[in-house]
């Protein structure tokens, strides 16, 4: 059996994120997670939200680890990963009533972030909800010096990465029928931004 990958930060932030998802996803039935990473979050959130079917996804290189979490969790509502690179992916229209993604927007290039919003707008049902967790800039400012330093370290590793402006994400949302309805401050200077898909 493959060893389950483990990220300390995902263990730490999982509880506070789950508290928010209990609110945001309380009346939802089918969630797509984009960039499931280790698979830890999916296992924890599917266990904590048993009324939801949790669809994991990521680029193929992460599937072994995600599958290890899926199979060891033995949860009926946790589904093995879809092969999903937002740069090339196409998903069926209106097939989920919720989308979750964590710590992806600053890792993806801005082109990939644009494609992620397009994909989310396409695959969500009307009134569907998109929750995106991570660090954001607001009004052109980092909320802490540590996030400014994190941004610098990301950009020095790969110039296409970097902490995104919430205003830019909102514009991408608006272009894809998604209006932001909430912003939660989270531990360690992170946030969860929540967009709803407007009816046409």
Ligand X SMILES: C[S@@+](CC[C@H](N)C(=O)[O-])C[C@H]1O[C@@H](n2cnc3c(N)ncnc32)[C@H](O)[C@@H]1O
Residue with tokens 């990958």: 5
- Applying CB under 6 A, which of residues 18, 47, 87, 168 lies at the interface with ligand X? 87
Q: Which is nearer to ligand X, 55 or 102 (CB)?
A: 102
Question: Looking at beta carbons, which pairs linking 150-155 to residues 24 or more positions away fall under 8 Å?
Answer: 151/106, 154/106, 154/107
Q: Which of 32, 79, 86, 166 binds ligand X (CB under 6 A)?
A: 86
Q: Which residue is nearest to ligand X (CB)?
A: 37
Provide, rounded to whole angstroms, the least separation between the CB of residue 8 and ligand X.
Answer: 10
- Which residue, 48 or 198, has its beta carbon nearer to ligand X? 48
Task: Sort residue 134 into left (φ over 0), alpha (ψ -120 to 50) or beta.
Answer: left
Q: Considering only residues 32 through 71, tell me which ones interact with ligand X, judged by CB under 6 A.
A: 34-38, 41, 58-59, 62
Return residues touching ligand X (CB under 6 A).
7, 10, 34-38, 41, 58-59, 62, 84-87, 102-104, 107-108, 112
């Amino acid at each position: 059996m493959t060893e389950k990958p483990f990220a300390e930060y995902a263990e730490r932030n999982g509880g506070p994120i789950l508290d928010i998802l209990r609110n945001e996803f309380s009346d939802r039935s089918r969630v797509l997670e984009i960039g499931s990473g280790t698979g830890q979050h999916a296992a924890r959130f599917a266990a904590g939200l048993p009324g939801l079917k949790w669809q994991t996804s990521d680029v193929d290189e992460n599937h072994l680890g995600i599958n290890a979490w899926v199979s060891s969790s033995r949860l009926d509502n946790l589904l093995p990963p879809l092969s999903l690179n937002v740069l090339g992916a196409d998903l069926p229209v209106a097939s989920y009533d919720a989308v979750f993604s964590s710590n992806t927007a600053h890792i993806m290039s801005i082109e990939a972030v644009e494609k992620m919003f397009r994909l989310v707008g396409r695959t969500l049902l009307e009134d569907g909800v998109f929750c995106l967790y991570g660090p954001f800039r607001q009004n052109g400012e980092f909320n802490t010096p540590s996030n400014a330093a994190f941004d610098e370290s990301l950009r020095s590793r790969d110039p296409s990465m970097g902490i995104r402006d919430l205003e830019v994400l909102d514009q991408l949302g608006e272009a894809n029928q998604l209006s932001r309805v909430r912003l939660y401050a989270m531990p360690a200077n992170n946030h969860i931004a929540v967009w709803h898909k407007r009816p046409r």
